[in-house]
Structure 1
Amino acid sequence: MTRVALNNLGLLPLAGICSYEDACKVGYDIDHNVNLLRRYLYSETQLNQIFAAHIAHIPEWEVKGAFGLHMWLDAEHSAALRKRITEMREPPLHLDKVPDEQIEALFHEVIRAESTLELLVGIYRVVKPELVRSMRKHLAETNPLVDHPTCRVLKLILVEEEEMIPWGEAAVQALIRTDADGIAAQQWQQHLESFLYAAGGISGDLAKPADWHSSVPRTDGKPYSMKVEPRRDARFTDTYNSTANFDQYYFDADRPADERTYALLFKRLREMDVPEWMGPIIYQTKGKPWEYYQELSRQLWDEARHSMMGEVGLYQDGVEFYKYPVEFLTTMALNRTATPLEAHLVLWYIEQGLMPKATGKHFEWAVAKESDNELAKTFQDYDWADEVLHAQIGRKWLVPEYKDMEELKQQAAIVMKRNLEEKDRLSRQSDLKEWWPNFLAEIRAGRERTRDRVSSS
């Protein structure tokens, strides 16, 4: 209806946000709004932690990569919600307080998934769809003018959450390979939905269906204990094989330019081990400001993305990324023997060593530039930029833990030495068969085939 005819000079009023009629609805008061935002915040925070807790131990490579992206996005969503809550007369305290014991019970179940399929079902069939439903309802009911800052935050979050769900559903379908898998997925979904309905959903307004009944929790009341050992799926073999010395290969100016560049691409591929060791750091480190988890989650995603660069670099020239050994010795050693702080020290120590122009990331980019592999040069360019950021993140969070930079370096060197010894011990699980010459011959042949096809087209 039109209450009064206004002369707006033919211009859209209210900055184009909404109509006058939409702006006349009362919407949510501040207290109700903040209560809902706290529930979303808790959910996004828990999702980030669930990804961190499982990324090492799930074996499927593609799931690791997606988890790297999604945990960073959920960390960003958590940060945006925290900021908005503090703008609504709320002090920046107690933001991680559990808003509802029933929601807490739901996430205690989700994190206790016993397979990748269960984990995917919990995240992408139960939690994220309900989070999207709750946020959409919020947008439909709050006043779009007075609560515009909240609406903006929720709209931006929804774009990314709605992109994650189809990936997750496709992953669930891919891992349902037998009738038994389908039954197990359905049973786990129903189990989690029992907890979801008990909480009234993420926003607390979800009505229980007529046939709702409570489920026996899987949790025993003790804190969740993550499985830290990295795993790879059956496509990968000989994951303890450390015979390829990539640093030696690309540093060796006597080697052909293409071999040096392929060494860099395979080194990028192997970087999936960094998310596998950062997940435990993020999950097991408690009591830090959220900015810590946000920045380390970004770094974890960057490292997963670098691994994908290597994956694409091999694909470009016709080699399957899982065909040759992708070892994870550093991660296996650290996750088994180091504290989260020690593991972070090693990460920073390595990255700091990549900063000098003559031997670090600039040098790697220059090596790629010397070859005719334009894609590899682009990959190294962005890898270089990311690693500068990562070194800064490490300094920011590690320096305050030690007396000074010198003590930090000394402690890092001690842990590095211990880790190298453990890696050497672990490598004995492989027969250490040389594979680099075979890889090099195959990828060179693939590049020649690509050139032939291009020239003949």
Structure 2
Amino acid sequence: MTRVKMNNLGIPPLAGVCSYEEACKVGIDVDRNVSLLRRYLYIQTQLNKIFAAHLASTPEWEVKCAFSLHMWLAAEHSAILRKRVTEMREPPLHLDKVPDLQLEKLFQELIRSDGTSELVVGIYGVVMTEFVAALKLHLDETNPLVDHPTYRILKIIRMEQEEMLAWGKQAIVGLTPSSEIQLKTQKWADHLAVFLDNAGGISGEANKIILDNKVAPRNDGQPYEMQMEPKRDERFIDIYNDSVKIDSFYGDADLEPDERTYALLYKRLREMDVPEWMGPIIYRTNGKPWDYYVDMSRQLWDEARHSMLGEVGLYQDGVEFYKYPIEYKTSMTLNKAFTALEAHTILWYIEQSLMPKETGKRYEWVVAMESDNALAKTFQDYDWADEVLHAQIGRKWLVPEHGSLEEMKNQGALISQRYSIERAKLDVHSEQLVNWWPQFLAEIREGRDKIRGKQLQPK
């Protein structure tokens, strides 16, 4: 419909945001908009918390990687939505107040998922599927010009949620290989759907149902207790074996540059234990400003990404990342024997120890630069940049806890001493006898030469 023929000089009107007809749509009023956005930010806040609670104890490496990214995106999306709510006549107060007790019950059930398949089906097959649908409806209904700030952020959030959902749908297929598992997860999806329906859906505007008395909640009214012990799936072998001291290889100037660089790539691979101990830190730390959870979730994602860089570095030269031991004694020790504040303090203590020019991250980059591994050079370049950020995050949130930077350093040293003692107790779980490094080095060199030989052959 064209109401009047406009002379816009051949230039798209309304800054290209929308057509005149779309701008004539009445759309959603401010009060309803705020109500919806508060539900959305609550959902993202809860997903961030659920990812944090389950990341360590989820055995499947690929799921840990995805949870790390999706956890950070949930924190970011919650932060963006919080900011928008405060721009719409709402003071920045009570943004963490539960908007709907029925919605809270849904997430109290979801966090109690039994195993990875239930958890992934619940997050992606139920909650995220409906969340994406709710965002689409919101974008269709709101006036894209008058409510452009909301329209813009919901478009961004929807795009990233759809990318996460696409991963989740494929992961569900991989995690439900048998009809028995499919039946189990479908029952769990149906169970969660009852709670979502009782909340009136994501928006709260659907017809609410009366909770079926036959649907017994798993939530017994007691606070959820996360599983602190990190887990790895059956592909990983001898996961307590740290007999190969990686630092001694890349720090040895007498070794060949490629061996030193492969040691760095393996060190990156081992960084998965950092997300495995950061998840519990984040989950157990309550009452902080939301920026804390955004910063910590970002650092967690960076550490998982570093581990994936190691994974790719081995793949580049033909070695499966799970073939040789990837120990997790650090996360096992810190999760089980230390408080969240202690675990965070030692994380910072390690990060700041990597800042000196001659021994830290710059040195690792120099080692990679001396090799002919171009990919490793790029990896170390960005790893160095990330670690500088992480040291800043630690100072930002920990100095107020300890009172001063000097006291934080003192506490870090004391905690490190106790950590070394506790960590050594795990040696009994591995014979620590197998020096697998020569075999790994021979295999990856052979793979590299074979792959490069194929690349150099004339087509």
Q: Normalising by structure 2, report the TM-score.
A: 0.97
Correspondence 1:388-399 to 2 at 5 A: 388-399=388-399
Amino acid at match of 1:287: G
Deviates more, 1:5-14 or 1:398-407: 5-14
What is aligned with 1:436?
437
Tell me the distance in 1 between the aligned counterparts of 2:170 and 2:3. Answer: 49
Structure 2: distance between partners of 1:82 and 1:214: 37
Alignment-mate amino acid for residue 242 of structure 2: S
Task: Give 1:4 shift.
Answer: 2.9
Question: Separation in 2 of the partners of 1:121 and 1:312?
Answer: 28
CA distance in 2, matches of 1:450, 1:18: 51
In structure 1, C-alpha distance between the alignment counterparts of 2:28 and 2:178, rounded to whole Å: 47
Amino acid at match of 2:227: K
SS of the counterpart of 2:403?
coil
Contact 1:195 1:215 in 2 (8 A): no
**Number of residues of Structure 1 aligned to a counterpart in Structure 2:** 457
Residue 305 of structure 1: how far off its partner (Å) = 0.5
Deviation at 1:454, TM superposition (A): 2.2
- CA–CA distance in structure 2, aligned partners of residues 83 and 452 of structure 1: 54
Q: Which amino acid aligns with 1:335?
A: N
2:2 maps to 2
* Alignment partner, residue 405 of structure 2: 405
Structure 2 counterpart SS, 1:254: coil
Instruction: Spell out the pairing of 1:28-177 with structure 2 (5 A cutoff).
Output: 28-177=28-177
State the 1:208 CA deviation.
5.9
Match of 1:254 in 2: 254
State TM-score, norm by structure 1. 0.98
**Shift in Å, 1:209:** 8.4
- Counterpart CA distance in 2 for 1:52 and 1:170 is 22
User: Does structure 2 retain, via aligned residues, the 8 Å contact 1:311–1:321?
Assistant: yes
Native 8 Å contact 1:195 1:214 kept in 2: no
Q: Which range moves more in the overlay, 138-147 or 35-44? A: 138-147
User: Are 1:216 and 2:191 an aligned pair?
Assistant: no
Give CA deviations for 1:332-367 in whole Å, capped at 9, x if unaligned.
Answer: 000001100100011100010000110000000000
Structure 2 counterparts to residues 236-255 of structure 1, below 5 A = 236-255=236-255
**Equivalent pair of 1:194/1:214 in contact (CA under 8 Å):** no
2:436 partner amino acid: W
State the alpha-carbon separation in 2 of the partners of residues 448 and 371 from structure 1: 15
Which residue identity is paired with 1:381?
D
- Partners in 1 of 2:408 and 2:425 — Cα distance? 26
Greater alpha carbon shift after TM alignment, 94-103 vs 204-213:
204-213
Work out whether 1:342 is the aligned partner of 2:337: no
Contact 1:244 1:435 in 2 (8 A): yes
Report the CA distance between 1:163 and its aligned residue: 0.5
How far off its partner does 1:306 sit?
A: 0.4
Q: In structure 2, how many angstroms separate the alpha carbons of the residues matched to 1:316 and 1:20?
A: 52
Label 1:149 to 1:214 Cα distance change in 2 as closer, same or farther (>3 A): farther
Is contact 2:120–2:172 with CA below 8 Å preserved after alignment?
yes
Q: Residue in 2 aligned with 1:451?
A: 452
Match of 2:424 in 1: 424
Structure 1 segments unaligned to the other structure (5+ residues): none
Equivalent pair of 2:273/2:331 in contact (CA under 8 Å): yes
Contact 2:194–2:211 under 8 Å retained in 1: no
* Equivalent position amino acid for 1:437 in 2: P
Partner Cα separation in structure 2 for residue 251 and residue 66 of structure 1 = 32
Structure 2, gaps ≥5 residues long: none
Query: What is the Cα deviation at residue 423 of structure 1?
Result: 1.2
Q: Aligned equivalents of 1:48 and 1:403: distance in 2?
A: 29
Which residue does 1:22 correspond to in 2? 22
- Measured against aligned partners, the alpha-carbon deviations of 1:130-165 in whole angstroms (never above 9, x if no partner) come to 111111111111111111100001000000000111
Q: Distance in 2 between matches of 1:33 and 1:455?
A: 59
- CA distance in structure 1 between the aligned counterparts of 2:424 and 2:216, rounded to whole angstroms: 45
Post-superposition Cα deviations, 1:258-299, rounded to whole Å, max 9, x if no partner, equal 111111000000000000000001111000000000011000
Aligned-residue offset at 1:211: 12
Using the TM superposition, give the Cα deviation of residue 318 of structure 1 relative to its aligned residue in structure 2, in angstroms: 1.0
Q: Give the AA of the match of 2:314.
A: L
- The alpha carbon displacement at 1:13 in A equals 1.8
CA 1:288–1:209 in structure 2 vs 1: closer, same or farther (change >3 Å)? closer
